[in-house]
Amino acid sequence: MKHIAVIPGDGIGKEVMEVGMDILDAVSEISSFDHDAEFFDIGSERYLKTGELVTEEEFDSLGRKDAIYFGAIGDPRVKPGILEQGILLNMRARFDQYINMRPVTSWHPFVPLKKHFDFDICFLRENTEDFYMGAGGVMRSGKKVEVNVKRMLYDLRMNVDPVSLPDDDFAFEIGLLSKRGVERFADHVFKTAEKRGEDKVTLVDKANVCTHIYGMQREIFSKKAEEHGISLDFMYVDAMAMAMIVRPHTFGTVAVPNLFGDILTDLGAQLQGGLGMGASGNINPEGVSMFEPIHGSAPDIAGQGKANPIAVVLAAKMMLDHLGYEEMGTLLRNAVRKCLDEGKSTPDLGGKLTTKEMGNEIKRAVLGL
């Protein structure tokens, strides 16, 4: 029995999650995947009513689950950043979900490229370090700035103490990679490539400019590549952005640091057919992981039955793969493929089906009806 925490969240998160749960129930009906679901009322409504985001008891309870299935959060009535920081980022940090996994698959005919390429890229983005650590400040009047970075792996405190400061203010943002952080990331990357039956990993960086952090990352990845018996290609991030457009089919498992990963995976989301198709896993291989569609709460279409539920279904696919039910994961992916091949889709893809109708079509395909 797998214990799943379900957080529908806000806006279309709630609508697509109804489909997601329906599909998980269907999977349980036809396979050995047995699950129970506990719903958590986390999101903007509760925050606006009570000021609460996620309580300590909820964190404890979420931490005991096998996986977290997440819809979307966001609300125009709440100042940007509060829900994202207080819920999503907090959850990632709390459960040390140090890998962000984002598949980029050619969901034809929605791929916006002129040439027909078949691709299936697995982006693995490091989720806790690099330039997104919040390690920065502004040096004013020669005063030193204290920088604290607390992670599951370490608690780092340092002072940036100017020796000579011209008469100006200087803002800085430090990007850090720890040896242990890169090692555990690299291990997961190579294991993923092995699982996917690939003999090559691509590491994206900008080691010709940011020589220190990405130089160390290259060294560690090279060592790990040898250990795992898998070859390693290096790509600069600018070259990678171009290559994703002209030869996406040449990539398999791609490792990318936090900041570049944020940008490249959004490019990837559009390449595969848009926000309604993109799923994401925030993964801690030794702990509790969280699976979600990459889209937000989409207030502009919430409550209208227009949301595409494919992303939430593909998030369930990733969750099933992660929990060891790869066969069922593949079944979900094939069910989505079948529906699209038969021309069934929601308005964002040019179709006429409502969220629920699309969900029912996918469910029928899952059940083989």
Contacting residues toward ligand ATP, per CB under 6 A: 12, 74, 275-276, 295-298, 300-301, 307-308, 311, 348
Whose tokens are 């039956």? That residue is 197
Residue 126 vs 292, nearer CB to ligand ATP: 292
Q: How far is the CB of 72 from ligand ATP (least distance, A)?
A: 6
Residue 186 vs 358, nearer CB to ligand ATP: 358
Q: How far is the CB of 76 from ligand ATP (least distance, A)?
A: 9
Residue 202 vs 308, nearer CB to ligand ATP: 308
Q: How far is the CB of 316 from ligand ATP (least distance, A)?
A: 14
d(CA 230, CA 188) in angstroms, rounded, equals 13
d(CA 255, CA 144) in angstroms, rounded, equals 35
Q: In a 10 Å sphere around its CB, with 0-12 CB exposed, 13-18 middle and 19+ buried, how is residue 363 labelled?
A: buried
**∠ CA 241-245-246, rounded to 5°:** 115
Q: How far is the CB of 93 from ligand ATP (least distance, A)?
A: 19
Nearest residue to ligand ATP, by Cβ distance, number only: 296
Q: How far is the CB of 262 from ligand ATP (least distance, A)?
A: 12
Residue 272 vs 308, nearer CB to ligand ATP: 308
Q: How far is the CB of 89 from ligand ATP (least distance, A)?
A: 13
Q: How far is CA 68 from CA 8, 59, 62, 127, in A?
A: 10, 11, 7, 17
Q: In terms of Cα–Cα distance, which of 113, 124, 110 is closest to 274?
A: 110
d(CA 300, CA 253) in angstroms, rounded, equals 35
Residue 256 vs 301, nearer CB to ligand ATP: 301
d(CA 2, CA 305) in angstroms, rounded, equals 30
Residue 12 vs 182, nearer CB to ligand ATP: 12
Contact 64, 285 (CB under 8 A): no
Transcribe 46-66 into DSSP letters: HHHHH--SS-HHHHHHHHTSS
